[in-house]
Structure 1
């Protein structure tokens, strides 16, 4: 009975892989086709003469590298700052004592149920009033405030760490800031990896905030991919859109491959307590 059950699991896993990779395979297929093949009937499932011309044109049709640099700047700034801020807040909720700590933590978790779309207009009006539109300062401020879900992950991880570590550090004369930086933060690499991947991918793939707060010169690659690939008549160029989208996912995949072990460990252990 073990063998059939294991075979069924493998079949389900292979089916899931095909299901999830199917859209990306279609995207790659479109990126390798010539424009004439996209209009041909019947549909060809594989390009007759696959080449990299679409990728070259995708880089030159818009300032692809310039917009990618804008996206990378915003995503990196936000990922680093929100990880540090969330770690510090999570440490406070896990190891420090203060009146109303449980209530504040409950309110913090409840903010995760608030849809982002409800805060778009107030956010824009606030940043426009203090003249922070067309700058990257909003992402710095958002990063310094931390993220509720990431604070929750760090809080759960720090709560599971032995109290003896903290007590030994206090005996040696360490304050709370030094305990956090020298003992707790270096031990939390799994959650740091999880936080970096999640926050980087959130910002890298975000369309709404850059479209709302940034002009064309400062906007990100996600926004430009949505409307930048058009011909002289304003019609979209699906082959260039597909080629640009394939290159667009490379940084996130690269980051995940680099820190995947820590990401999996952090996701699996941060909610144990």
Structure 2
């Protein structure tokens, strides 16, 4: 057998591999398509509900598609309550909270990743264990504490929460900072830089994907929070999440679910656009913050 002929001979297993690989890729795409339908389904249902009349909303059997799209529901959603004012309240609260908690979490994560101290590992485990506490468990003590020091009906609780850092974000920053070569830090120390300068001039600029991910994640937490604003803020200072659920009513005091659906669609639209804009930062942060001991 010539060498050229021997090079072209393939085993049955080699000839069967490409079809199996193609079937595997096809199965993955089918699974991803099915998951996409499941995740997008509630959003489609919300949009269809926002385009229905109240009669179509309560119709039995349920009407999937409206007979005629009621675009006026979106107009009512914007005008029946002071939608822009509540949206600005949500934007202000979310921006302040996200900025503070991102910076404080980055600072704590930097300390756990680069500084040496006795008991650091134990403190880190205690910090991570607080992620297991449900929010509802601390809700009543938090309200009592803020009411006794006079911070109810103010935005100061969000400032204090932001300064307190987040265990999840601390873990994210700690994993990222621990992967940075120590030579950068040693070179800065030789040049006379202190830990504060090293953090702000070297580590923070390198962590832009994680910073963006932490900011957007915490912004989404605050933007979508209903319990804390409903508990701590009055009517004038409350957020859009509370306003949407409480104040869309007809003249008889009955709720208007179709208008609420339209308002909810407008409410989630900014978050969807933010995610589409920043999804590459999520991917980079997950890749660069892999688990490191």
- Band the TM-score falls in, shorter-chain normalisation: over 0.9
CA offsets 1:29-60 (integer angstroms, 9 cap, x no match): 01112333324454332222224211110011
Which residue of 79, 98, 122 corresponds with 1:60? Answer: 79
Match status 1:69 vs 2:88: yes
Residue 8 of structure 1 corresponds to 27
> Does the 8 Å CA contact 1:166/1:179 hold for their aligned counterparts?
yes
Partner of 2:223: 204
Counterpart in 1 of 2:11?
none
Q: What is the SS of the residue equivalent to 2:67?
A: coil
Q: Which has the larger radius of gyration?
A: 2
Query: Deviations for 1:250-272, whole angstroms, at most 9, x for unmatched residues?
Result: 12122222221111211233133
Q: Quick one: distance in 1 between partners of 2:256 and 2:70? A: 16
Task: Kindly indicate whether the alpha-carbon contact (under 8 Å) linking 1:68 and 1:220 is maintained by their aligned counterparts in 2.
Answer: yes
Q: SS of the residue aligned with 1:44? A: coil
**Alignment check: 8 A CA contact 1:194 1:267 kept:** no
1:162 aligns with 2:199: no
Equivalent position SS for 2:216: helix
- Asked if 1:193 corresponds to 2:212, the answer is yes
For residue 177 of structure 1, what is the aligned residue in structure 2? 196
In the alignment, is residue 236 of structure 1 matched against residue 260 of structure 2? Answer: no
Please, what is the CA RMSD of the aligned residues? 1.3
Task: Identify which of 147, 152, 155 aligns with 1:136.
Answer: 155
Match of 1:85 among 104, 112, 116: 104
State the Cα distance separating 1:236 from its structure 2 match: 1.5
SS in 2 for 1:22: helix
Cα deviation 1:109-147 (Å, max 9, x = unaligned): 111111111111111111111111111010001101110
Instruction: Determine the structure 1 residue equivalent to 2:39.
Output: 20
Give the number of aligned pairs: 273
CA distance in 2 between partners of 1:40 and 1:100 (Å): 63
Q: Does the CA contact (< 8 Å) of 1:157 and 1:188 recur in 2?
A: yes
Q: Which consecutive aligned stretches of 4+ in structure 1 deviate over 4 angstroms post-superposition? A: none
For residues 240-251 of structure 1, the aligned pairs below 5 Å read 240-251=259-270
Provide the rounded CA distance (Å) in 2 between the counterparts of 1:267 and 1:231: 47
Q: What is the aligned partner in structure 2 of residue 43 from structure 1?
A: 62
